[in-house]
Amino acid sequence: MYRLVSLLVLAAMVGACSRSAPIPEPAATLAGPATDAAAAADLPPVMGPERRILAVGDSLFAGYGLASPAESYPARLETALRARGINARISNAGVSGDTSGAGAERFAFVLRNQPRKPDLVLIEFGGNDILRALPPEQTRANLDRMLAAARAEGVPVLLMGMLAPPNLGPDYKAKFEPLYPALAKQYGARLVPFFLAPVIGKPDLIQADHIHPNARGVDEIVAATADQVAAALPGQ
């Protein structure tokens, strides 16, 4: 299935690259304590223990191009989890423009500066590495660094996978795509094989930049991943 998607994958990104679409610039170098997604949304009341989730990623978490923070993936995911009866509070540490290298530089700092240790951390990087055609070995090393930091703090991880576009060639794809499942296996992390799968080939779910999901696209990604996030929470 994912090989078929890979032929379509990031067709939007490939087109954007060929038109020299701008890559969003980072909003900060390290990004301090993450923004609580709950502040951006009207949340349904839920009983039970609060489950803290930290979402660390790039513009796909930051909500680049959306009308408000309440439309970002972490905010909409928080609402979806609460609708399932999970008293979730998600801190959004997405920074537009971040490569995996930039994410690795700030990851431990953000994790350690949460008000309390998260029950789960979501890690989503790789899109900007692809857009810059950075060596897959760098992406793997950076993700490894983040997963190791999470393990050191005793926090479980749900890793959001990416696929490489065909225009980067078969060698790049052969090195890049297996790194997510390999790292998930190495660290005992849960894996979403391809985070953008629900919106690929659906232009009505993508912004005009041909890269980022629009609000409807975000909702589709949330619908496709909320159960996986819930299952990754310890004790669920």
CATH of the domain at 11: 3.40.50.1110
Contact in structure between 102 and 30 (CB atoms under 8 Å): no
Contact 205, 213 (CB under 8 A): yes
Residue 113's closest CA among 28, 29, 31, 234?
A: 31
The pLDDT score that the predictor gives to residue 12 is 41
Question: Is 171 a residue of the active site?
Answer: no
Question: Which entry of 72, 96, 212, 219 is annotated as an active-site residue?
Answer: 212
What percent of the chain has a predicted confidence (pLDDT) above 90?
78
Catalytic entry in 59, 72, 91, 96: 59
This prediction's pTM: 0.86
Where are the extended beta strands (E) located within the chain?
35-36, 51-57, 88-94, 120-124, 157-160, 190-192
Q: What is the pLDDT of residue 33?
A: 58
Residue 219: active-site member: no
Bridge-based pairing of strands 120-124 and 51-57 is: parallel
Distance from C-alpha of 114 to C-alpha of 136, rounded to nearest angstrom: 30
Query: Which residues in the chain land under pLDDT 70?
Result: 1-34, 37-44, 236
Q: What is the pLDDT of residue 15?
A: 40
- Average pLDDT over all residues of the chain: 87
CA 202 to chain centre: 19
Q: For residue 19, what pLDDT is reported?
A: 36
Rounded to 10 degrees, the C-alpha dihedral 101/197/3/192 comes to: 60
Secondary structure, 3-state, 14-73: HHHHHCCCCCCCCCCCCCCCCEEHHHHCCCCCCCCCCEEEEEEECHHHHCCCCCCHHHCH
| 68 included as an active-site residue | no
Q: How many domains does the chain have?
A: 1
Amino acid (one-letter) located at 60: L
* Residue in 98, 119, 129, 209 annotated catalytic: 209
Range of the domain at 64: 2-232
